[in-house]
A and B are shown apart, each in its own frame.
Chain A
Amino acid sequence: MLEFKNVTKVYDGGKTAVKKLNLKINKGEFVCFIGPSGCGKTTTMKMVNRLIDISDGTILVDGKDIKQQDPVQLRRSIGYVIQQIGLMPHMTIKENIVLVGTLLKWPEEKKNERAKELIKLVGLPTEYLDKYPHELSGGQQQRIGVLRALAVNPPLILMDEPFGALDPITRDALQDEFKKLQKELHKTIIFVTHDMDEALKLADRVVIMRDGEVVQADTPEEILRNPANEFVEEFLGKERLIQGRPDVTTVGQIMEGTPITVQENESLKNAISIMRDKHVDSLLVLDQQEKLVGFIDIEIINLNYKKATLVNEVMEKEFLYVEKDSLLRDTVHKILRRGVKYVPVVDEEKKLVGIVTRATLANLVYDTIWGDGFDVEEHVDLEIAK
């Protein structure tokens, strides 16, 4: 759909805004460009509709080099939404919405129909079509700004911090609306923002830029899980990384380090006394190599203590366990869905390294809601050290 090939922009003053940018954007993809001011994100976007000229390299839209196209015609075929909204104050809302249609000399009927059709998309009454921009609130105005970009149904839409100037509540509402809209319309969208939450919320792919270069281009999940370098980490912010952690934390990071165990060749009598001493109702059973082989609980012992004497004769060998590198969110799922009280954690050789109990999860949820996250980390470190 859209392809950047070695795209470079050097401004007249000699400042290089974009350096040899290479990027391929698929049809229907929602891509957010993000980075500190001066990183070249806006320049990159504005080169697509030739509001800024390319110094070197090529940009292909649908396989066609944009430099070969007439800039005015090109811009009419690409939707454009800007931060300052930029509705024409002397035109009615209807005239504003179908502005590109007017430029393309659409007949009046077609324009009326399209305007009515579009304004319903954002849930505004059709009477608004005859109003002037100043009669609308900021949020309503930007809704019209988005509709204006959609008017002639362009497959590609450029958005330059479209929700940046709105108050947080309106911004949130518009983001949700727009995400829903995008699901219905399947446009290819280039969205420039400096708001990481916005990018993570909306984008299929986030392109993080710095000094005119792409630092990382990945799905929001992948960026949260594997930030490419310190800059990305810093840009994401510690808070976001921790908040995002239930998604990316491994079991090893939160497990408790000292489960109560018993050797498989111990007697049942000993097993019971361990349970009593440690105030637990079940034990994990290990073999000589410290590998986890099963578990035994008070019920099993109660049923079998007359028939058997050793733990490995009666222990339950079918049980749920997780590896310490597996994702926490999958583990949580297992614990909650299967209704088990705990899950033992093993390493690659199936040696027991820890345990996740419902109490561990309660701690985690508590820290996510109340804690600042640091406690969780320290806590976990201590547990692992034990």
Chain B
Amino acid sequence: MNEFLSNHGTELLIKTGEHLYISFVAILLGVVVAVPLGILFSRIPKMADRLISFVGILQTIPSLAILAFFIPLLGVGKLPAILALFFYSLLPILRNTYIGIQGVNASVREAGKGMGMSNWQSIMKLELPLALPVIMAGIRLSTVYLIGWATLAAFIGGGGLGDFIFDGLNLYQPVLIIAGTVPATILALLADRLLAIVEQKLTPTGMKESYEAA
């Protein structure tokens, strides 16, 4: 163990950094795109189901294949890796945003509208805060998946902890495989905990208590 750390310690830190970077940027892009899209879908519920199934099809494409598809388009490196992971983050966040917003009590929404809230005010002051726990669940799910899948980025030269795993596979060195896997797992768990805390902080007080009361 000590020997491994003295040989690969710095590399491990760098790779972990890369791994985090790839996952983080992909998930950030995912949130930035999927949350507004989910809100938009909630405004066109008739179309929404079909659109969501379409996004679902993207999800079913095997991850290795999607990474490979991006090589002719964007070459190798971090960018295609991030882009591919971004596609995977979309569905859970999109679907949870849509379901979360749909799930906001219709009477609360009607009251808001009847009081004279504009569409924008209704989204910002009512629907997003009330749908937040469901949206956050989608983001957490995506994040955990993405940190796992980000190991595949190594396959197209994106770097990250995947490099250790591929090296280990090629060189028949189980230690390297473990050196890639364990930190990735720990990262995923840590990210999930962190997001849980963020969710706690963002959930409006009145709602936390009403969940507890329920």
Q: Which residues of A contact B (CB under 8 A)?
A: 49, 51, 72-77, 80, 82-92, 99-100, 103, 132-135, 145, 148, 158
Write out the residue numbers on chain A whose beta carbons fall within 8 Å of the beta carbon of B213: 134
Write out the residue numbers on chain B whose beta carbons fall within 8 Å of the beta carbon of A148: 115
Write out the residue numbers on chain A whose beta carbons fall within 8 Å of the beta carbon of B118: 72
Q: What are 21 of the A-B contact pairs (CB < 8 Å)?
A: A49-B114, A72-B116, A72-B118, A73-B116, A74-B116, A75-B115, A77-B116, A82-B107, A84-B110, A85-B111, A86-B112, A88-B108, A89-B108, A90-B206, A103-B117, A132-B205, A132-B210, A133-B206, A133-B210, A134-B206, A135-B209
Kindly state the separation between the CA atoms of A80 and B117 in the bound complex, as whole angstroms. Answer: 12
Write out the residue numbers on chain A whose beta carbons fall within 8 Å of the beta carbon of B115: 75-76, 80, 99-100, 103, 148
Q: Main SS of chain B's interface residues?
A: helix
Closest-by-CB residue of B relative to A103 is B116
Decide if B210 touches A89 in the complex (CB within 8 Å). Answer: yes
**Which among A86, A89, A145 is the interface contact of B110 at CB below 8 angstroms?**
A86
Kindly state the separation between the CA atoms of A80 and B113 in the bound complex, as whole angstroms. Answer: 10
Q: A86-B105, A88-B126, A134-B209 are in contact. Are A51 and B116 (CB under 8 A)?
A: no
Instruction: Tell me which residues from 158 to 214 in chain B have a Cβ below 8 Å from any Cβ of chain A.
Output: 204-207, 209-210, 213
B148 within 8 A of A: no
Which 3 A-B pairs have CB atoms at the shortest separation, nearest pair first? A86-B111, A76-B116, A84-B107
Write out the residue numbers on chain B whose beta carbons fall within 8 Å of the beta carbon of A99: 115
Write out the residue numbers on chain B whose beta carbons fall within 8 Å of the beta carbon of A158: 114
Q: Which residues of B contact A (CB under 8 A)?
A: 105-108, 110-118, 121, 126, 129-130, 204-207, 209-210, 213
Kindly state the separation between the CA atoms of A273 and B21 in the bound complex, as whole angstroms. Answer: 120
Kindly state the separation between the CA atoms of A62 and B195 in the bound complex, as whole angstroms. Answer: 53
Most chain B CB within a 10 A radius of its CB, from A49, A82, A83, A88? A88
Closest-by-CB residue of B relative to A92 is B206
Kindly state the separation between the CA atoms of A133 and B108 in the bound complex, as whole angstroms. Answer: 12
Closest-by-CB residue of B relative to A133 is B206
Decide if A51 touches B205 in the complex (CB within 8 Å). Answer: no
Write out the residue numbers on chain B whose beta carbons fall within 8 Å of the beta carbon of A51: 110, 113-114
Write out the residue numbers on chain B whose beta carbons fall within 8 Å of the beta carbon of A82: 107, 110-111, 114
Decide if A90 touches B116 in the complex (CB within 8 Å). Answer: no
Kindly state the separation between the CA atoms of A358 and B113 in the bound complex, as whole angstroms. Answer: 59
Write out the residue numbers on chain B whose beta carbons fall within 8 Å of the beta carbon of A90: 129-130, 204-207
Closest-by-CB residue of B relative to A158 is B114
Write out the residue numbers on chain B whose beta carbons fall within 8 Å of the beta carbon of A88: 108, 111-112, 126, 206
